[in-house]
């Protein structure tokens, strides 16, 4: 996990007190609600218990045109094709609209593209094939907003097109019969955070004229697609997901019940979190591994045995996806080892040969979490280069990629995620140009942030607190599970569990003992030791085992000092700038470590036989004798002089001290010369 800046939510005590009195709720719950921007009893009522769909589907621009054309197709018995996407959002949207229209017109079918080969969105060959098949009406779900050329061809071949999408439109819209997208500048929908399946749902609401009926029929599909696409759980999405989770747990859709059982969740209630980590990845895995049709058939299944067989097949796809990810990730790190200078870029762009495109988006998110900066993975195929990127809040990835549009064959996405395609031979130019854009528009890059709701004392960590937390469900983007800070906790014990994959930490303060789990944390990367006093950011959950209920404490981050964390994050950006040849201050002499400082760095690391662990652990190794920036610069000079060998994995730094022969003139290293020239 990359180092994050801790950001505490502002506490308005007066507003929280007013909510407590006016709503008759627990003061702690009032604090959490206040921090989420709720100001009135009506706000609280709607947020906690609202179950009405208030966004008029006809407030969407072109919705009336879409309904009119689709209704005519139903009445005339036209041949209708629904064109979706291969991810969970696109698959659920396809199944939803197909199920509804099939009940109205037998001449409806659906088409899901193959991620590997066809790729995302409409293609000219697809349009030609549909025309040959006599299709009258093409409806897109979760795609189409950028299909200008494809819609133009469809028009010329006599196919009417209705687009429903939720991605950000470019300057020119396709000339379709209707373009329904809440992000159109002229769209008057009150809520903008719909997933692709959410927009398809609003279309069904408009067609049927009965939103309550549509919610009862399709809420489970909308919930799954919305959660899978990490859409904000605010506004109408809260109603859609809350109702959908209820439907999933009622087992109304055989395919989802079978998938839950195949994932080991038989008899367990699905929450927003469990759906994100168990159901959604498996639906996505079918599309990623080349068979989105299997996922659609699972969701459409009305036979238990068929559903069970399909669920087991999809579970196998998920296992294959995990194995493929592990193999490619190893190759990604090999590429970074060969090009350590990439890590100093504002946007980390890593390219490799023939990486399976179905998983590079997931791996880009892994790199983002590890290195704390926007990351793009590019797979170089024989005839094209395909890529997927993820960004941190505050850096608009889609806008950055758009600046390179002239060398791209296609691109799309939004602030936090995007996809690109280009012809071979443009990778290095793309890397340079997107970083030049970032350098120009973001002299200081945003740091990853961990939002913390409030501080807790150990004695407050009781079962009662869970009641206030759980009422805020469903959790997700826009309404994350509350994060709390436990300050000045004494570390009594650290134990490696789960075959070394996780840590169990025993903490104490004010004679109160707490046990916490830090998942996916290697003990070698642990920045603290027994006897340290630390600040711990945690989430709280309910744990039930053998009839006993307890509070489960999950570690999200650990630090010794918020001031030291900020200093370390600042030094990261300064060091990256220096390595790119940009000196962050005019007084360059202060940046060049002294001979004594360099000797201290080398001797300390040699005496400890190198270092392996969280980068912040280096400060403890040196007892804060050196500033983080001096430490980074000094180690880089020693690395350039072949006196150190290290691997930077973001949240883990591995340093070796090879045997040195004779004296080394450090002043001949590139970084020394650079800093000396600017002194």
Q: Taking all residues of the chain, what is their mean pLDDT, rounded to a whole number?
A: 92
Q: pLDDT at position 588, please?
A: 45
Are 567 and 515 part of one and the same domain? Answer: no
- Give CA–CA dist 554/468, Å, rounded: 17
In a domain, 657, yes or no: yes
Are 457 and 489 part of one and the same domain? Answer: yes
Q: pLDDT at position 547, please?
A: 79
User: Which whole-number Å values give the CA distances from 79 to 85, 102, 538, in the listed order?
Assistant: 20, 11, 54
Residue 662 has pLDDT above 90, yes or no: no
Q: pLDDT at position 149, please?
A: 94
User: Which whole-number Å values give the CA distances from 166 to 152, 163, 449, 613, in the listed order?
Assistant: 21, 10, 26, 42
Q: What is the mean pLDDT of residues 318-347?
A: 92
Hey, what are 178's tokens? 């209707």
The CATH number of residue 462's host domain is 2.40.50.460
Angle, CA of 460, 462 and 466, to the nearest 5°: 105
Count CA atoms closer than 13 A to 44's CA, side-chain side.
22
The model's pLDDT over 172-226, given as tens digits with 9 standing for 90+, comes to 999 999 999 999 999 999 999 999 999 999 999 999 999 999 999 999 999 999 9
Residue 669 has pLDDT above 60, yes or no: yes
In a domain, 655, yes or no: yes
Contacts of 217 (CB under 8 A, 6+ apart): 100
The CATH number of residue 147's host domain is 3.90.1640.30
Are 486 and 417 part of one and the same domain? Answer: no
In a domain, 188, yes or no: yes
Are 460 and 547 part of one and the same domain? Answer: yes
Nearest to 317 by CA among 352, 278, 291, 346: 291
Residue 525 has pLDDT above 90, yes or no: no
User: Which whole-number Å values give the CA distances from 104 to 107, 632, 664, in the listed order?
Assistant: 9, 66, 81
pLDDT band at residue 117 under the 50/70/90 scheme: low
In a domain, 264, yes or no: no
Are 198 and 140 part of one and the same domain? Answer: yes
Q: What is the mean pLDDT of residues 500-528?
A: 91
Its pTM stands at: 0.85
The CATH number of residue 612's host domain is 1.10.10
Are 494 and 402 part of one and the same domain? Answer: no
Contacts of 428 (CB under 8 A, 6+ apart): none
Angle, helices 27-35 vs 463-470, to 10°: value is 40
In a domain, 601, yes or no: yes
Question: How many distinct structural domains can be found in the chain?
Answer: 4
pLDDT band at residue 119 under the 50/70/90 scheme: low
Are 362 and 480 part of one and the same domain? Answer: no
The model's pLDDT over 400-418, given as tens digits with 9 standing for 90+, comes to 999 999 999 988 877 888 8
In a domain, 251, yes or no: no
Are 82 and 179 part of one and the same domain? Answer: yes
The model's pLDDT over 422-450, given as tens digits with 9 standing for 90+, comes to 999 999 999 999 999 999 999 889 999 99
Nearest to 469 by CA among 52, 31, 45, 37: 31
3-state SS, 544-606, equals: EECCEEEEEEEEEEEECCHHHHHHHHHHHHHHHHHHCCCCCCCCHHHHCCCHHHHHHHHHHHH
Are 197 and 85 part of one and the same domain? Answer: yes
In a domain, 128, yes or no: yes
Q: What is the mean pLDDT of residues 500-523?
A: 93
The domain boundary, picked from 523, 544, 560, lies at 560
Nearest to 455 by CA among 479, 481, 487: 487
**Exposed (0-12), middle (13-18) or buried (19+): which is 433, by Cβ within 10 Å?**
middle
Chain position carrying tokens 């202060």: 590
The domain boundary, picked from 388, 417, 441, lies at 441
In a domain, 85, yes or no: yes
Are 202 and 65 part of one and the same domain? Answer: yes
- Give CA–CA dist 338/330, Å, rounded: 13
Classify 419 as helix, strand or coil.
strand
Helix and strand numbers (H, E) in the chain are 24, 21
The domain boundary, picked from 560, 584, 616, lies at 560
**In the chain, pLDDT over 70 holds for what percent of residues?**
98
- Give CA–CA dist 174/177, Å, rounded: 9
Are 204 and 71 part of one and the same domain? Answer: yes
The CATH number of residue 350's host domain is 3.10.310.30
Are 347 and 489 part of one and the same domain? Answer: no
What does 176-205 look like in DSSP terms, one character per residue?
A: -SEEE-TTSTT---S-----HHHHHHHHHH
Domain span including residue 172:
57-211
Q: pLDDT at position 584, please?
A: 66
């Amino acid at each position: 996990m990359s180092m994050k800046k801790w950001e505490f939510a502002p506490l308005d005590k007066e507003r929280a007190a007013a909510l407590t009195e006016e709503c008759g709720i627990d003061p702690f719950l009032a604090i959490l609600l206040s921090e989420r921007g709720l100001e009135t009893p009506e706000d609280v009522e709607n947020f906690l218990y609202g179950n009405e769909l208030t966004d008029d589907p006809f407030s969407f621009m072109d919705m009336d045109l879409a309904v009119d054309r689709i209704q005519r197709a139903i009445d005339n018995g036209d041949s209708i094709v629904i064109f979706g996407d291969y991810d969970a959002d696109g698959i659920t949207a396809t199944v939803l609209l197909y199920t509804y229209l099939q009940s109205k017109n037998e001449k409806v079918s659906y088409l899901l593209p193959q991620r590997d080969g066809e790729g995302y969105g409409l293609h000219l060959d697809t349009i030609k094939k549909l025309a040959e098949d006599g299709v009258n009406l093409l409806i897109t779900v979760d795609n189409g907003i950028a299909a200008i050329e494809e819609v133009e061809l469809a028009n010329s071949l006599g196919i009417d097109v209705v687009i429903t999408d939720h991605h950000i439109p470019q300057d020119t819209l396709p000339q379709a019969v209707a373009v329904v997208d809440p992000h159109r500048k002229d769209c008057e929908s009150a809520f903008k955070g719909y997933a692709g399946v959410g927009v398809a749902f609003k279309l069904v609401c408009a067609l049927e004229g009965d939103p309550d009926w549509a919610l009862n029929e399709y809420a489970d599909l909308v919930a799954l697609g919305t959660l899978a696409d990490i859409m904000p759980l605010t506004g109408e999405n809260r109603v859609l997901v809350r109702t959908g989770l209820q439907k999933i747990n009622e087992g109304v859709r055989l395919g989802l019940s079978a998938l839950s059982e195949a994932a080991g969740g038989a008899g367990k209630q699905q929450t927003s979190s469990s759906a994100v980590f168990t159901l959604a990845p498996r639906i996505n895995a079918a599309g990623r591994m080349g068979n989105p049709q299997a996922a659609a058939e699972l969701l459409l299944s009305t036979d238990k045995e068929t559903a069970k067989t399909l669920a087991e097949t999809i579970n196998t796809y998920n296992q294959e996806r995990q194995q493929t990810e592990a193999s490619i990730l190893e190759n990604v790190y090999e590429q970074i080892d060969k090009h350590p200078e990439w890590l100093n870029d504002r946007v980390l762009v890593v390219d490799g040969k023939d990486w399976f495109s179905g998983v590079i988006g997931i791996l880009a998110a892994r790199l983002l979490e590890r290195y704390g900066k926007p990351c793009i993975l590019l797979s170089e195929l024989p005839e094209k280069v395909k890529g997927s990127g993820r960004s941190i809040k505050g850096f608009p990835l889609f806008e950055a990629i758009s600046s390179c549009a002239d060398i791209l064959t296609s691109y799309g996405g939004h602030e936090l995620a995007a996809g690109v395609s280009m012809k071979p031979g443009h990778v290095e130019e793309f890397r340079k140009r997107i970083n030049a854009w970032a350098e120009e528009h973001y002299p200081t890059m945003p740091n990853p942030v961990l939002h913390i709701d409030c501080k807790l004392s150990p004695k407050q960590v009781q079962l009662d607190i869970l009641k206030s937390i759980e009422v805020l469900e469903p959790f997700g983007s826009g309404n994350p599970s509350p994060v709390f800070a436990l300050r000045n906790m004494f570390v009594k014990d650290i134990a490696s569990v789960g075959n070394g994959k996780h840590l169990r930490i025993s903490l104490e303060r004010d004679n109160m003992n707490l046990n916490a789990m830090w998942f996916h944390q290697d003990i070698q990367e642990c920045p603290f030791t027994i006897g340290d006093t630390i600040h711990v950011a945690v989430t709280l959950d309910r744990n039930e085992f053998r009839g006993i209920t307890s509070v489960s404490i999950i570690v999200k981050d650990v630090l010794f000092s918020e001031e030291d964390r900020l200093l370390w994050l600042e030094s990261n950006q300064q060091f990256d700038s220096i390595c790119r040849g940009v000196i962050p201050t005019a007084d360059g002499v202060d940046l060049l470590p002294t001979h004594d400082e360099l000797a201290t760095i080398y001797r300390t690391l040699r005496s400890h036989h190198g270092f392996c662990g969280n980068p912040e652990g280096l400060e403890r190794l040196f007892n804060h004798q050196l500033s983080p920036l001096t430490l980074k610069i000094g180690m880089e000079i020693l690395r350039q002089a072949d006196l150190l060998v290290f691997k930077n994995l973001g949240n883990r730094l591995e340093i070796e001290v090879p045997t040195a022969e004779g004296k080394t003139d450090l002043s001949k290293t590139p970084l020394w010369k650079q800093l000396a020239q600017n002194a």
